[in-house]
Structure formats: C-alpha cells, structure tokens
Amino acid sequence: MTGVVRAHGRGTVKLIFAATFLVTAFLILTPLASLLYGSFRSAGPGEPSVFTWRNWTDLGSAAIANTLVTTCFISAVTAVLSTAGGAALAWLIYRTDFRFKRSTVAAVGLSFFFPGFILAMAWVILGSPGGIFNDVLEELFGIEGFKFDVYSISGIIWIQILHIIPFAFFTLRGPLIAMDSSLEEAAYASGASPWQVVRRVTVPLMLFPMLSSLLLCFVLSVEQFAIPAMVGIPGHVNTLATELYLLTNFSPPNTGLAAAVGLSMSAVTGLTIFAQRRVVAKRGAPTVSGKGYRVRPLALGKWRWAAQAVALFYILMSFIIPTLALIYTSAIKFFVANPMEASYTWRNYLQIWNSPGTMRAFWNTIVVAGGGALLGLILGTLIAYSTHRLKPRGHRALDVLACLPFGIPGIVIGLGFLWSYVYLPIYGTLWVLVFCYMARFLPYATETIGAQIVQFDKVLEEAAWASGANRVASFRRIVLPLLRPALQSGYFLLFIAYFREIAAAALIYTASTQVLSISIWAFFENANWGVASALSIVTTIITVALMAAVARASLRV
C-alpha cells in the first residue's frame, strides 16, 4: 500500500474490527491461557499454590494412559461406524429407489437435534441392568441369563453411534447432492452397471468427504461428555472427558491435573481438526454443478425391504423408543415393565412446576440461550464479515482464533473458564455461561454466516457504495437483508446449542446459575428418573417446537 489515507469512513470500520478482534481474543484465549496457567499450579483455582511440573508428569500415569487408550478406541470405533452409517443412509436416500425419503430425512433431523444427554438417559432407562429391556426379557418372555448392559464400553459406543450418525449423514449428503451428476451419467453411458458406478465413481468421488466426516466424527466422540458420563461412570469406564470431570468434582479435586488432561485432549482434537481442514482444502469441496441430482435412482430390488427395515430400526432406536421410554417413565408412579399394569400420574410434571430451583433453571436457560445466542450471532457475523469481506490487517489471525473452538472440547472450555475465576469477576453469574458458550459455539456462527457471505457477489455491495451508501449504510441496507436466511438459521443453531449444552456447563454452574440440562442430570443422578424424564420431555418439546417455528419462518422468506 502507498501512504494514501482514505478520506472518510475507514475509522468506524477499523474501530469495529478492533473491537471484534479483542472480544474474540478474550473469549478464546481466556480459557486456553487459564488452562495453561492452571496446568502448572500445585493447587486449584483460588487456592494458594506454587509452580509445579507434577501435573504434566502425572499424565504418564497408568490410569491416565489407560483412559487415553479407551477414549481413542471408543472414538475410532464410533467414527468408523457413524460415518459408514451416515454414508449408507445418504446413499440410500439420494441414489436409490428407497421409499419414504422425506420422512426419513425429517426423522434423522429430529435425531440430530435430540440432545445427547437425554438420549443417554433414555438408554439408561432402557438398557441398564435394571432397565426396561431386561425387565421385558425377564417378566414378559421369561428369559434369564442374558442381560443388556449399557454401562459398558459397547454401551457408550452404541449410544454415541446413534447420536452421531445424523451428523455424518448431514455432512455427507451435501457433497453427494452437489456432486456433478454427469460424472455418474457418463459412467452409465460407458456401459457400467449401477453397482459398478457406485464402486468406481460414487465412492471414489466421495472418498475425501467421507474422510473429512470420519475425522469430525472422531472429534465429536472424543469431545462427548454426557454419554460417557451417564453410562460410563456407573460402569467404571472413563474417557478423557469424564476423567477431567471426576478430577475436578470429586475429592480430592486435582484441578491442575485436569487442566493438563484438558490441554492434551485439545491437542488430540485440535490436530484431528487440523488434519480434517487439510483434507477439505485438498479435495473435500465437491464439484458443484448446480444442476442438482438427476441420476436415475438405483433399483434396490429385494434388498429394498432390508434397507427400509434397517433405516426404520435406526429411527426407532435413536429417537422414537427413547422418547417413548421417557414419556412412560415420566408418567408412572413406580416402575413396571408392562404399561398395562402401571398406574399413571402427573406428579412429575407438577413437581417441575412447583420446584423454584427448576423454574429458575428454566429462566436461566432462556436468558442464556435467548440472549447469549444473540450475542454469539452478532460476534459471529462481525467475524465472518471481517474475514470474508473487509480483510483488514489481522483478519487471518482472527480467522484462526475463531476456528480454534472447533478443536477444543466443551468440557475443556468449561474448565478453562473455571480456572479463569482467579482473575475474572464473572464467576457465579450467568455471564460465565454466556462467555463459555459463545466461545464454544463461535464456529457455528462464523461458518453459517461465512457460507452465506461468500454466496453473494461483492459487487452488490460495491453497487451500493457507487450509489452513495457508506460502509455502515450498505452493511445495514444490503448485506444484512441478504444475510437474513443465514442469520435466522445461525441464531436457531446457536439457540439450540446453548439450550442443551451440558459439557461446558457441568464444571462452572453454581446453585444460582443452574440450567435445564444440569437440572435434568441432577434429578437423574439422584435416581429421580420420573422428574428427570418429565423435564427431558418438556425440553425436547420446546426444542422441537422452536425448530418447527424457525423452519416455518425461514420458509416464508
């Protein structure tokens, strides 16, 4: 650049960028710096402590190493099976004569938004040693000797697969739909049979998206806290996430070691995300033709019924049966396997209404999700606009900062904010939750908005400037209206994410800042399955209703 000064308007833009940068740096670097500090302290936050290497050397202990191996095993199996399941489902729906495509996608969408901790709870009710399945086996069929037990490694993997398949499905269907259909048509025209087309064209072309999905599923699984906490801790199976929680919450607490564990965990997930980004940068972006999908659907023949059955089984297991189990548990006085013999009651629902603590949790959740998501959305929009359009000096650094939370597990961010309590006066207020969630879910906002920003040509803004609108006016009158769909879906995504988050909250909530997810978990831990189920049902209804409302609103645009 020359020494030319822009005469007007740049000042405001610079100021906004500087503010955006500072807020982002604060949100992202606070937990990381706090963790780094904490990992070298001999005692927990707020206590007198000295510098020590012990936390890092303790990482080599047999217990932690064991946990690391378990976590990697669980995550690898989960990632492979979830990606395979998601890919198969996407292929069935977008490439074959599979029936009920729309309803299947809708059902998978519901599973996608079904919170992991509620799913885990339902599966405890269903598949724990004293759960519904075993009772049904014994009481109704008289089968002894075989018992379901979700309190196990295979239990964790099973629930995680149910939970993560929709993610794999939604990340893979994009590339599959966008794939230039003429590539497959050319293979047909060259004389390839449908199966040969799948083997020689579709799968090879989908290899990079599938690899990308595999890595992301691995990260999701490593990060997963609620599922291993609910079914792993009772079964004495620990993952890094639950280990970190136990180290922090049970005496004697070892928050310093937890910090070291958290940073190591972030190293694993961060490196995986880095690898995933390289994969995407290399070949991940699909060859978009814009023509949409027109390949003749492959006739499955007699396999179709098998495919339908497997898909239905998945939907039953991931959403319908868990929901039914929760509804049943929430409405009965005491547990019996046969619904005909049960006596029903509203008391669990009434107890929610009559418990001031729970009502407070409701209110807190609404404030954090409603208001916090708005703040998160504003910040995400400013970041996405800066990194995609304004590109001032420092925009790359901002981009890197905003991507970091992708690689940091929620519970680790929570722990980071716990450690930051030493020097931040926000502990015990809802702000700590809001900051924590804003940091954790920042990429949701920046990715959603960024994707829309690159969709519309910069010349639309230039035309506004040439028409006399300054940067602020053109942002308000041209950019924001064009971003409206992305802003709506971004807000919705953030709201849902904030609404149901449990991992980040597990370490930093206090009695006055309790949120719904924590309340449900607390009832559950106290063996109050009835109220926990009732609260879960209410939460699910709110989530689904919001989803429907937003879907309706964005359809009207």
Partner 1 sequence: MSIIVRDLVKRYGDKTIIDGISFEIAQGELVSLLGPSGCGKTTTLRCIAGLETPEAGFIAIDDMVVFDSQAGIAVEPYHRDIGMVFQSYAIWPHLTVFENVAFPLRIRRRPNTEVETRVTKALAMVGLSAFRDRSSQQLSGGQQQRVAVARAIVHAPAVLLFDEPLSNLDAKLRDQTRAEIRKLQRELNVATVYVTHDQAEALSLSDRILVMRDGVIRQQGTPEAVYGTPLDAFVADVVGPANFLPVTVVGAASGGVEATLAGGEHVLAAFGPTTPGPANAMIRPDRLVLGAVPGANQLHGRIRQRLYLGGHFEYLVAVGSASLRVLSSAMAAEGDSVTLSFTAADCIILATDTQETSSWA
Between residues 96 and 381, which has the closer beta carbon with respect to partner 1?
Answer: 381
Between residues 296 and 484, which has the closer beta carbon with respect to partner 1?
Answer: 484
Between residues 5 and 511, which has the closer beta carbon with respect to partner 1?
Answer: 5
Query: By CB under 8 A, is residue 555 in contact with partner 1?
Result: no
Binding to partner 1, residues 221-260 (CB under 8 A): none
The minimum distance between CB 10 and partner 1, in angstroms, equals 8
As given in the structure block, the two tokens for residue 16 are 């906004």
Q: Please choose, out of 160-168, 345-353, 469-477, 506-514, the segment that lies near partner 1 by the rule CB under 8 A.
A: 469-477
Query: By CB under 8 A, is residue 321 in contact with partner 1?
Result: no
CA angle 443, 447, 448 (to 5 degrees): 120
Query: By CB under 8 A, is residue 390 in contact with partner 1?
Result: no
Binding to partner 1, residues 421-460 (CB under 8 A): 457, 459-460
Among the listed residues 482, 546, 547, 550, the single contact to partner 1 using CB under 8 A = 482
The minimum distance between CB 455 and partner 1, in angstroms, equals 11
Query: By CB under 8 A, is residue 1 in contact with partner 1?
Result: yes
Helices 529-556 and 116-127, interaxial angle, to 10°?
Answer: 140
Binding to partner 1, residues 483-502 (CB under 8 A): 484
**Spatial distance between the Cα atoms of 121 and 520, rounded to a whole number of angstroms:** 9
Q: Please choose, out of 304-312, 395-403, 466-474, 533-541, the segment that lies near partner 1 by the rule CB under 8 A.
A: 466-474
Nearest CA-CA partner of 208 in 242, 178, 241: 178
SS3 content of the chain, % helix, strand, coil (to 5): 75, 0, 25
> Buried b vs exposed e over 137-152: b needs ≥16 C-beta within 10 Å?
beeeeeeeeeebebbb
**Spatial distance between the Cα atoms of 69 and 86, rounded to a whole number of angstroms:** 25
Query: By CB under 8 A, is residue 8 in contact with partner 1?
Result: yes
Query: By CB under 8 A, is residue 481 in contact with partner 1?
Result: yes
> Which positions ≥6 away from 475 have C-beta within 8 Å?
385
Residues written for the chain = 557
> Is 459 strand, coil or helix?
helix
> Buried b vs exposed e over 397-407: b needs ≥16 C-beta within 10 Å?
ebbebbbbbbb
Q: Please choose, out of 97-105, 227-235, 415-423, 473-481, the segment that lies near partner 1 by the rule CB under 8 A.
A: 473-481
The minimum distance between CB 556 and partner 1, in angstroms, equals 14
Binding to partner 1, residues 125-154 (CB under 8 A): none
Are 231 and 150 spatial neighbours (Cβ–Cβ below 8 Å)?
Answer: yes
Cα 321–chain centre separation:
22
Between residues 285 and 466, which has the closer beta carbon with respect to partner 1?
Answer: 466
Residue type, 324: L
Among the listed residues 342, 473, 547, 550, the single contact to partner 1 using CB under 8 A = 473
Query: By CB under 8 A, is residue 464 in contact with partner 1?
Result: yes
Interacting residue ranges for partner 1, rule: CB under 8 A? 1-10, 457, 459-460, 462-470, 473-474, 477-478, 481-482, 484
